Structure 1
Amino acid sequence: MLMATISIASAKGGCGKTTLAIVLGAVLAEQGYVTRLLDCDLNQHASAFGAKNSLERLDVRPSVDEHNVLAELRSAEKEAEITLIDLPGGSSTLALKALQRSNFVLVPCQASLPDVRDAMKTIAQVDDAQDLARSPIARSLIWSRVLPGFESRAAKHVRMSAEETGSPIFSSALMERAAFREMHITGTAPTSNSPISAAAHNARAIADELVLRLSQLAENVA
């Protein structure tokens, strides 16, 4: 049985953390995983999605902060197979607590040099949490809000710069799709209401890659 806690973190706001969190939460629940999403972001957009969503295996917990995050994590670790943590931007006690309890950290990053610099700050936070936890914490960048079609010269330069840092990068990217914006209105993911769409294919590819990486981590521990 696959059991894991995944933080979705970035020092920068507006990079797609919450979109990634609800996409993964919905797809993993549809795939049969008992999934809990802890909404730690001040805007509480994941909680608004959760209030509209009807998936039995997806439980979105609102208003998680530095005071109750450990209690919420203990509960999730007992009751869920996959726990996703939608963290607020920046560095905080909340983030440090969540990162230390994570098996994997996903860092969404747009294809701009300032975003890559902020992503590296987040990776440094993961390193700090790893040092405090005295246990390895796997992590990976994931390109977010990527426009479909031709990759610009600037975007290619940014991508190559990120690869040179040596940080792992997901093969799948979170594309810029209207269907992902509409999830906040409908409370459903494109994998439910439009299962053969490009957005649904994108969502499943990200979730499948995450499950693969988590399975590889579990095998290495075993």
Structure 2
Amino acid sequence: MATISVASDKGGPGKTTTAILIASELALDGYRVTVLDTDVNQQAAAFGRKAEIAGLTVVGDVREDNILAELRKAEAESEIVIVDLPGGSSTLALKAMHRSHFVLVPTQAALPDVKAAMKTIAQIDDAQELSRTPIARAIIWTRILPGFESRGARHVRQSVEADETLPILKASMMERAAFREIHITGKVPRQIDPASAASANVAAVTAELLQRIAQLAEAA
């Protein structure tokens, strides 16, 4: 169905957590999902060893020299492949983006994160130029405090959203203890409390991402 890369030029915006939450939500919805962990910290792989979610496979130790082979294998076996890319620009990231139908760019509403997001967008453009095929992408705001937004964060967010050329998901990943705890428990919010705000948050983000991918398929 689709290969999705989750990319950020810097650490800290919740890239791996976002990748895990979306992948788990899709698997719980019945999709066959593979996550390729290319990050040096291997946090997605560690989650995969703890998790018990039917349909979810997490492959660790994916490197520049084996990323294409792992992508071919995952795409043959799964309906959705999610690549958790390492922070920063790299040949590995360029290869994964080249093969992706969609690149999701997690970003906090802070100036350093937005600058990093613009670098990531530029790398997606490079991959698109190499492939000579459009690569869909979108920024997703992450670690947003529920019920509160500082003046600085609001200014940064509104400045970015004023640029109509930048695709941005309407749904954001909030800052929630339940999201941090997945790395400890190996369970996502939907497994613990399907009616929780955290579970609804993940469902909203995943539904919007699926909608955007479906629109790409319709336009093809």
Q: Judge same fold: TM > 0.5, yes or no.
A: yes
Q: CA-to-partner distance for each residue in 1:98-156, whole Å, 9 max, x for gaps?
A: 00000000000001111111100000000000000110000000001111112222111
CA distance in 2, matches of 1:124, 1:169: 15
2:158 counterpart of 1:160? yes
Amino acid at match of 1:141: I
* Counterpart code for 1:33: Y
> Could you list the runs of 5+ residues in structure 1 that have no partner in the other structure?
none
**Aligned residue number for residue 3 of structure 2:** 5
Matches within 5 A, 1:124-143: 124-143=122-141
Shift of 1:164: 2.9
TM-score normalised by length of structure 1? 0.97
Match of 2:190 in 1: 191
Equivalent residue runs for 1:66-215 within 5 Å: 66-165=64-163, 166-215=165-214
Residue aligned with 1:59, SS: strand
1:32 has 2:24 as partner: no
SS in 2 for 1:5: strand
One-letter amino acid of the counterpart of residue 216, structure 1: Q
* TM-score, normalisation: structure 2: 0.98
After TM superposition, give the deviation of residue 189 of structure 1 in Å: 0.5
Secondary structure, aligned partner of 2:100: coil
Unaligned runs of 5+ in 2: none
| Alignment length (residue pairs) | 219
Match of 2:55 in 1: 57
Kindly report structure 1 stretches of 4+ aligned residues shifted beyond 2 Å. Answer: none
The alpha carbon displacement at 1:192 in A equals 1.1
Quote the Cα distance in structure 2 between the aligned partners of 1:115 and 1:164: 17
Helix, strand or coil at the partner of 2:181 = helix
Q: Distance in 1 between matches of 2:99 and 2:193?
A: 35
Question: Could you say what the CA RMSD is over the residues aligned between the two structures, in angstroms?
Answer: 0.7
- Amino acid paired to 1:177: R
